[in-house]
Structure formats: C-alpha cells, structure tokens
Amino acid sequence: MPHPYVALGDSYAAGVGGGARRSECWRAMDGYPVLVARALGLDLAYEACLGATIRDVERKQLSALTPATSHVSLTIGGNDVGFTPVLIECAKPSWMGDSDAAIDAALATLRTELPSRLAGVLGRITQGAPTAELVLTAYPVLFNGDDCNALTFFSPHEMRRLEAGVDELAGVIGAAARDADAQFVDPRAAFDGHAICDAQEWLNGASWPLEVSFHPNGMGHAAYARLVLDAFGRGDSELGRERDIAIAERPSARGEAPTFGLPDLLSAESLDGARRHGLDPDHVERLVREERHDELHALDRQVRARLGQRD
C-alpha cells in the first residue's frame, strides 16, 4: 500500500542515536522521519537504513516511491565520501597514524564523484514521485574545538579539518538540491552550541552501542524534524503529537558503509607506532590496561608536539 511520506537515506535518517534499534536498518521511532510524519499526520514508508550509500538508496529504497507520494526526505552523502573511515582514523592517537591521508581521499571523492551521484539519485526520486515535495538535508558540525571523550583522540587540527569537510559537503548537497528544485535543510546553524562536549549536546560522542557514536541524540533528531517540517512549509507546533499513523518498514539489509569503531590501543599498530614515535610500548600498554586515560592523552599531545602539530 502506498504511503504519502517516504523517508530515504542513511543512518541519520534512520534515527540512529535517537532511539532503540528496531531492525538491521535501525529505524528508531524517535528518528526525525517519524517525528515529521506524526507532525504532518502522514503515513510513513521508513526506508532509510544504517550504512546506506547513494547506491544503496537506489537499489533498495526507491521502490517505495509512487505517483501518490506527496513528501520525500533524503539524508545521504556522508557514507559515499567515507565519513566513518575518516572518523575511525581521526579517533586514533597520533602515534597510530596520520588521518590527513584519509581526509584528503574523502575530499577528493566529495569533489569529483559526489555531485554526479547526488544528481543521479535526485533525478530518480523525481521520476518515481513526480509531484512530491522533496527535502534534502546536510549534516551538522560534530565538534566545537573539544573532544572530551576518554577513548578517542581527535586533535584540534583534525577537528578543524572535519569542520571544513562538513562545510564543503553541505555546499555540494545544497547545490544538488537547488539543481533538482528540492528544498535544502542545512542543520549547521541550528546545531551551533550543541556539538559533542558542549553543555547541551545534540550529538553523541563515542558511545555504546558504537553505532550511535557521532549521530544526533533525541534532541538532535527533534532539531532535524523541526528543520524538515519548516522546509515542507509547516511549523513545528505539532511536533511530538502522537498521531495515529501507519509506518511501513520493508525488511532490508543494512547498507554497505562501515560503522564506527574505537582505536585498539593494544594492537600491533598502536604499540609499534608508539615505539616508532619514541614512546615505551610497555608503558603505553600498562596505561591502557589500567585505564589511565589522562596520561594516554598527555602522550598523544607529546607526540603531536614532536610532529609540529600545534593546537
């Protein structure tokens, strides 16, 4: 049975971080598409899925569209440029490697491949739901210059590069939306002051389960919902109302992109890297086993200073 609102996209659109996992795709009931559907009073085809790339959307999600579809939202692009592998590299201490290569590769894909991929999927959405209102969203900046998590080692340099990458990604997504005559939702301003480690976080830092790391929490998904409702031309006065709507979820395998993992500080990569950078690997191992996180972060700063990486 067709549903008037179809929610497409990746983990941000599947409610990851904002509620309990309900399937392999996650599809939390506090994800922004459910909040939007209830506010609009529209039955929802919840197609978005953890790990989805544009190729996953095209292969697994677009068949929910029909000529009767009136509203479509899409959050996509982060996995196409390798956002999670970048986060995995940046989370490592400086003696384990250099994240600049991973960031450079992501930016190359963003600049050379993502625009055409976005144009392709937006064209197919328009074909499948020719009269629908279409909203395309970008992503918020994760950090405001501080990583307060004990088990990750994002440096000021890395956080600045991540912010610049999110800004550039928003520019590409916004341009694609304009070219497709779609509404564009840019959450960066709304999330300002609510980054990871801010007083009121709308984003999860390194968290358990690890899949929810670096995703909006419940307040973040509510913020997304307000922005999407505004883009659909509706205020958020009805947000949170428990309207009786139907939610369709087709069985679907998760997308092809990886999920976040913490650095293994006891691995050969870590201990060999410590030795190469003039650290005592036995000392590093002892600090890890004794969970002396402050001292591990002090070693990270020491190595970054040797490498000339200033805060």
Domains in the chain: boundaries: 5-249, 264-311
pLDDT category of residue 2 using cuts at 50, 70 and 90: confident
pLDDT digits (tens, 9 = 90+) for 109-150: 999 999 999 999 999 999 999 999 999 999 999 999 999 999
Query: pLDDT by residue (tens digit) across 211-263?
Result: 999 999 999 999 999 999 999 998 766 676 667 899 988 877 899 999 999 99
Q: What percent of the chain has pLDDT over 90?
A: 88
Residue 4 binned pLDDT confidence (cut-offs 50, 70, 90): very high
User: What pLDDT digit, counting tens, does each position of 42-63 carry?
Assistant: 999 999 999 999 999 999 999 9
Fold of 5-249: Rossmann fold (3.40.50)
Dihedrals phi, psi of 43, to nearest 5 degrees: -65, 145
* pLDDT attached to residue 243: 74
Mean pLDDT across 293-304: 95
Q: Is the per-residue pLDDT at 310 higher than 70?
A: no
- Which of the residues are catalytic? 11, 215
Mean pLDDT of the 296-304 span: 94
Q: Could you tell me the pTM of the whole model? A: 0.93
* pLDDT for 169 beyond 80: yes
Query: Mean of the pLDDT values across residues 174-194?
Result: 97
pLDDT at 240: 67
The pLDDT, as a whole number, for residue 128 is 96
